Chain A
Amino acid sequence: MLLEVSGVSVTFDGFRAINDLSIAIGEPELRAVIGPNGAGKTTFMDIVTGKTRPDEGRVRWTSHGIDLLKMSESAIARAGIGRKFQKPTVFEEQSVRDNLSMALKNRRDPFSVLFWRIAAADHARILELAEEIGLSNRLADRAGALSHGQKQWLEIGMLLAQDPRLLLVDEPAAGMTPSERAHTTDLLRRAARTRAVVVIEHDMEFVRRLDCRVSVLHEGSVLAEGTIDHVTRNQQVIDVYLGR
């Protein structure tokens, strides 16, 4: 297993947002996580990326069993976990190129970055990523000038630029047109050929197109897991989620 979350619980002011959650992701794998609002999907990503510390439970990384709970956010990111946020967060004041360049897999300590100058390989990688996210002719533009969907893509591009082993993608298709959504599914499926990708999504059509294993979250733990057809037939899932 690449990522193994076991028996994790988180309480916010007495409210149990994550309740004895266990979930394991292989490499490579594409996994969709669905569930009603407030089920704890985003909090799950917060725990894996070090933003939120759980009250109990374990989070292990790779076959070496590295304990992610002991690591800072930046160390977790450097270990190979990339994240796209629910609300697109790119650096709006800076160009698309600079956004991608910051995310490139290069050394990240201040002194290396101070003396970093773009190499041919970095340049090629930026062009390649821009092509993939459809922003080739927007490289010099301010990221803030992009449309909502393009910002989502830029953030996905930044994620790919980090070349992580695990991508955590929170509601990537929100605010996208149907054709943009189709493009996004392609992108994610391609990325999942060589690495682990976990996608949180509300839209059932989108999940169906991802065509992968699905985990249904409810009240902070996994309610059902399996193919999309398997989970949508599950009576509990229908009651809490689909039936509404």
Chain B
Amino acid sequence: MTDIITGDPLPAPPPRRSFLRHNRAALWFMALLSLFTLVVTLLSEAVGTGLISTSLVKILGMTLCLCLVAVAMDVVWGYCGILSLGHFAFFGLGGYAVGMWLMYARAEIIIRDSLATAEIPPTEAEVADAVGSQIFGVVGSSELPALWAFAHSLPVQLAMVVLAPGLLALVFGWLAFRSRVTGVYLSILTQAMTLALSLYLFQNDSGLRGNNGLSGLQNIPGHLETPQAVIAMWFFWGSALALALGYVLFAWILSDKFGSVIRAIRDNEARVRFLGYHVESYKLFVFTLTAVISGIAGALYYPQAGIINPAEIAPIASIYLAVWVAIGGRGRLYGAVLGAAVVSLLSSWLTGGGAPDINLGFYVIEWTEWWLVLLGVGFVAVTLFFPRGIGGLFDHFAKER
């Protein structure tokens, strides 16, 4: 190759940064995730020896979804510097979107079965009415709200998994970033958004069953006869795949100049503007993309949880998300995965009665009550003594070798 102007030979460009080869962390992560998936599969009830119960497979699958939303949180906060305290709302929206189809389609099957024995075959309107009262009887209504117009359609509801969080993030982000709201004010604004959303969903006439939320989501229409062990396995694999793809997607986005620019925005956004980059567009891009990935994570999580209700979207959930990422070590994707996995598994172990209480003689520490204290102390300790989080330990390891 030659220089266009001088005709001199140009120096060869550096070998293209083929990103997976150069991203050792991503390779290690994929290898370990594959190994983990294989081990769980081989020990599962559905396919393997049965050492791991179906409910544990579900917990592990759900944990993978939490890891994915944590990775998204790390990108928006750890890399782009936007401390969003609302990303769990996007996670919840994804869950609601897919949950609507799960509930509707299952109710429809049940109604059709029960009406099949009637002498006159039911009309479509009768079926819809019956589905309406089946789903909404609990909030004293029998009509399907307009929101459910496409609940019968899996493709539409799957599109909503992406569109609902994506559009909310796009509109919210556009308004917030355009007015140059940053720092703690932006965090407060995202908390207000998630609070407003959860308060709205708590209302009985929200069209989403108020505080009852959506339930029975573990029953997959079309596979109602399939044992839960098998369904749990499928969702576990789906969650592992989503985490792997999400991780690679973000690692790729961060690997070259785009990653440089968003880290620069985190460190000094005013300076980035004077380089000619439209900072707001970058923030909006990152905010919206991470919201969409969070929605996908939620859509995989709630069928494993079986139920979603507005409490899931409460502001505190998004704060926990930030705590996981801080404990795991922000600014590194595997740190977010570690933080989410360790803290959420520890939490379900301690609050689920799995951990023995500690008898101090004069006082008995019951983990269900003391877990939050432990988490709080852990968070403060990490912030003060290990600002790089658990992931930071790998730096020492890498240096010593």
A150 contacts chain B at the CB level, 8 A cutoff:
no
Q: Are B275 and A102 in contact (CB under 8 A)?
A: yes
- Shortest distance from the beta carbon of B252 to any chain A beta carbon, whole Å: 9
CB-CB nearest in chain A for B276 = A77
- Shortest distance from the beta carbon of B277 to any chain A beta carbon, whole Å: 5
B13 contacts chain A at the CB level, 8 A cutoff:
yes
Interface residues of A in 82-102 (CB under 8 A from B): 82-83, 85, 89, 91-94, 98, 101-102
* Cα A124 to Cα B8 with chains together (Å): 11
* Cα A177 to Cα B367 with chains together (Å): 62
Known contacts: A114-B253, A117-B256, A120-B1. The answer to whether A72 contacts B10 by CB under 8 A is no
Q: Are A101 and B257 in contact (CB under 8 A)?
A: yes
Known contacts: A102-B261, A124-B3. The answer to whether A73 contacts B13 by CB under 8 A is no
CB-CB nearest in chain A for B2 = A120
B22 contacts chain A at the CB level, 8 A cutoff:
no
Q: Are A120 and B258 in contact (CB under 8 A)?
A: no
Q: Which residues of B contact A74 (CB under 8 A)?
A: 273-279
B14 contacts chain A at the CB level, 8 A cutoff:
yes
- Shortest distance from the beta carbon of B221 to any chain A beta carbon, whole Å: 38
B348 contacts chain A at the CB level, 8 A cutoff:
no
B1-30 near A? 1/0 per residue, CB < 8 Å? 101100000111110110000000000000
CB-CB nearest in chain B for A90 = B271
How many residues does chain A have at the interface if contact means C-beta atoms less than 8 Å apart?
37
Q: Are A103 and B275 in contact (CB under 8 A)?
A: yes
* Cα A17 to Cα B354 with chains together (Å): 67
A127 contacts chain B at the CB level, 8 A cutoff:
yes
Q: Are A89 and B271 in contact (CB under 8 A)?
A: yes
Q: Are B276 and A93 in contact (CB under 8 A)?
A: no
Q: Are A123 and B13 in contact (CB under 8 A)?
A: yes
Q: Are B273 and A91 in contact (CB under 8 A)?
A: no
Q: Which residues of A contact B258 (CB under 8 A)?
A: 110, 113-114, 116
Residues of B within 8 A of A (CB): 1, 3-4, 10-14, 16-17, 253, 256-258, 260-261, 263-264, 267-268, 270-271, 273-279, 281-282, 285
Minimum-distance CB pairs A-B, first 9: A77-B276, A73-B273, A123-B13, A78-B276, A120-B13, A74-B278, A114-B258, A110-B285, A124-B10
